[in-house]
Amino acid sequence: MSTPRLQLHHLSHQWATTPASSPLFTLDDLQLNSGDSLFMCGPSGCGKSTLLNIITGLLPPTQGEVLINGQSLYGLKPGARDRLRAQCMGVITQSLNLLPYLTVAENLRLMQTFSAQKADSEWQRHLLQTLNLTAQAHQPVEQLSIGQQQRAAIARALIHKPSLIIADEPTTALDDDNKNAFMSLLLNEMQNFDTALLMVSHDTRLQPHFSRTLDLRQYQSAEADYVS
């Protein structure tokens, strides 16, 4: 088996304002391999967004380690961390996943620029075709519907073939039909290359799409536990 895409070791985080005795969460050991899809849920304020910021390299944790492809994320200098995120991660958020004043194609190009990749027009054509966005490729993002925008977000998250896809409530803005279409597209596309998916949502109806589930509520106390 190849190196795990994501590993968390003894990870805990607490805000400076909270008493030292109560960390927001503590994750002793979490591992995502290529092909894994993890559904992470939990009520608001349980630290989902904080955890995602830590995993994406934007927020150094109070304690513990994050490994991306075996590489310690916080062992890197901030600039190298930004480059690693650009190269190895594809991030999809609730909304505004693309610069509204650029076209879809330009947004994809921007992502490739940051990840220091050459434009792969074959892969881009395939992605846009699969996501049914070929006609919208050269439209400014702000002219797209919400559903089209979130599909374009998948394209942007996959264009540089990342080893880890991180999705933060990507379906909140979508209606049920679009929601299911979005999920199957995302899961189908990630099977095409060596990647793992970590998705945060409080919509438990999406849970069956995933191979594993992590309820962050269970890790809010100081005790560590395993992923079910």
Partner 1 sequence: MLVKIAVRSLLQRRLAALLIIAAISLSLMALLISRGAGEELRRSFSSSVSGTDLIVAARAQPTQIMLYSVFRLGTPPQAMSAERWQQISQLPQVKWSFPLVLGDSVKGFSVIGTNDDYFRYFRYGDKHPLQSSTTEALQFGQPTAAVLGAEAARVLGYKIGDSLSLSHGMHEHSFAEHKELPFIVSAILKPTGTPVDRSVHVPLATLEALHNSEWLHTVTRGQLNKEHQHEEHEHEEHQHNESHDDDHALTLAFSDLPEPSSISALFVGLKSRALTFQAQASINAAHQEPLSAVIPGAALTEFWQLLGNAERLLQFLSGLMLITGLLGSVAMLQVSVAFRQREISLLRLTGASPLYIFLLLESEVLLLTLSAWVVALLGSGALQTLAAPWIASHYGLQLSSQWWPADSLWLIGGSLLLSLLAGLVPALSAYRKAFRL
- How many other β-carbons are positioned within 10 Å of the β-carbon of residue 113? 12
Task: Tell the smallest beta-carbon distance from residue 176 to partner 1 (Å).
Answer: 25
Alpha carbons within 13 A on the beta-carbon side of 61: 30
Please identify, using beta-carbon distances, which residue of 35 and 45 lies nearer to partner 1: 45
Task: Tell the smallest beta-carbon distance from residue 49 to partner 1 (Å).
Answer: 9
Please identify, using beta-carbon distances, which residue of 11 and 91 lies nearer to partner 1: 91
SS3 12: strand
The correct pick among 37, 97, 136, 195 for binding partner 1 (CB under 8 A) is 97
Cα separation, 119 vs 113, in Å, equals 8
Token pair in block for residue 20 = 């030292």
SS3 66: strand
The correct pick among 27, 41, 73, 98 for binding partner 1 (CB under 8 A) is 98
Task: Tell the smallest beta-carbon distance from residue 222 to partner 1 (Å).
Answer: 26
Rule CB under 8 A: which of 172-191 touch partner 1? none
Please identify, using beta-carbon distances, which residue of 31 and 117 lies nearer to partner 1: 117
The DSSP-derived string for 60-101 is --SEEEEEETTEEGGGS-HHHHHHHHHHHEEEE-SS--S-TT
Cα separation, 201 vs 43, in Å, equals 9
Please identify, using beta-carbon distances, which residue of 95 and 221 lies nearer to partner 1: 95
x-or-dash string of contact with partner 1, 55-94, rule CB under 8 A: -x-xx------------------xx--xx-xxx---x-x-
Contact criterion met (CB below 8 Å) for 47 and 221: no
Q: What strands lie across the sheet with 212-215, from one edge to the other?
A: 89-92, 164-168, 196-200, 37-41, 212-215
The correct pick among 71, 114, 172, 212 for binding partner 1 (CB under 8 A) is 114
* Contacting positions for partner 1 (CB under 8 A): 53, 56, 58-59, 78-79, 82-83, 85-87, 91, 93, 95-102, 106, 109-111, 113-115, 156
